[in-house]
Amino acid sequence: MRTIDQNGADSSGEHEQKPGAGPKKGRSVPPPHWAAILALVVIGVLYALLPFRISIGPSWLLLPFEGVLLLPVVIALLIRRRVSPATFSVGSRILLGIVTFAFAVGIANLMFNLPRQQKGFVLIYSGLLLYAFNILMFALWYWAIDGGGPEQRRKSDREATDFLFPQQIGGLDENWAPQFFDYLYLAFTAATAFSPTDTMPLSHRAKFLVMIESVFALILIGFVVSRAINII
C-alpha cells in the first residue's frame, strides 16, 4: 500500500515484508543419540571377538563395562529426561578414554604377542577388527568434541569451531547440523586416506585426533601387510 508521511516522503512498502525475509528457522532437533550408543555397542562386540592374546584380560569385559556406563543415558532417553550437557560431556570422554586405552593396548599386543602364532588368518582377522574399532572410536571422538558436543550443535547460531563440513561453507544451509554418520564418514576417510578429505579440522584438538587416527590406521595396515608377506 502506498502512503505519504507528514514530510511528504513516500513510504510505500516501508513496512512490507520482503519475500523470504521471515524469522529465521532454528535447526531441526536431531534424533536422540542412538547412533552413537549403537556404535559403542558395536565397539564392545568387536573387542569381544578379538583373540585372547590381543585383549586386556577377558575380551568380553569391555561390553558389560560400557553397558554399566550407558545404562543411565539409555534410561534418560527412554523416559525423555534431559541429560545435563556437562555430565554427558564428562561421561562420554571418560568412556572414550577407556575405549581408546583398550584399543592402544590391543595394537601393542597385536605387534608383540600375536606374531608368535604363525597363522595368517588370525593376523588378518585381528587387524580387520581393530581397523573397524579405530574408525568407530574416532567417529565417536569427533562427534563428542565438535563444537562442544551434540547439545551445543543444536543451537542455530553455532558456527564451525572444530570441523568444517562442506554444508557449512559459505552458509549454504544455515539450518544444517552434522549428525553421527557425518563423523563416521570423516573417521573412515581419515583411516583410509590418512588425511581429511572434504571436511577440514580447524582446532588443534581436532587436528590432533585426526593425526592420531591416521597413525593408528597406518600402523595397523603396515604391520598386517608386512607380517602377511613374511608368512607367505
pLDDT digits (tens, 9 = 90+) for 100-159: 999 999 998 888 876 655 567 888 888 899 999 999 999 999 999 888 877 777 665 566
Confidence of residue 60 (pLDDT cuts 50, 70, 90): confident
In-domain check, residue 186:
yes
Q: Is the pLDDT of residue 17 over 50?
A: no
In a domain, 224, yes or no: yes
Q: Which of 156, 153, 104 is nearest to 130 (CA)?
A: 104
* pLDDT for res 206: 93
pTM comes to 0.79
Q: Is residue 179 part of a domain?
A: yes
Helical H segments across 49-197, by residue range: 62-78, 85-112, 120-145, 180-193
* 147 located within any domain: no
Among 14-18, 62-66, 100-104, the range of highest mean pLDDT: 100-104
Q: Which domain holds residue 98?
A: 34-142+171-231
Q: Per the domain annotation, does 65 fall within a domain? A: yes
Q: Is 111 exposed, middle or buried (0-12, 13-18, 19+ CB in 10 A)?
A: middle
Q: How many domains does the chain have?
A: 1
Q: Is 111 inside any structural domain?
A: yes
152 domain-assigned: no
Residue 122 lies in a domain: yes
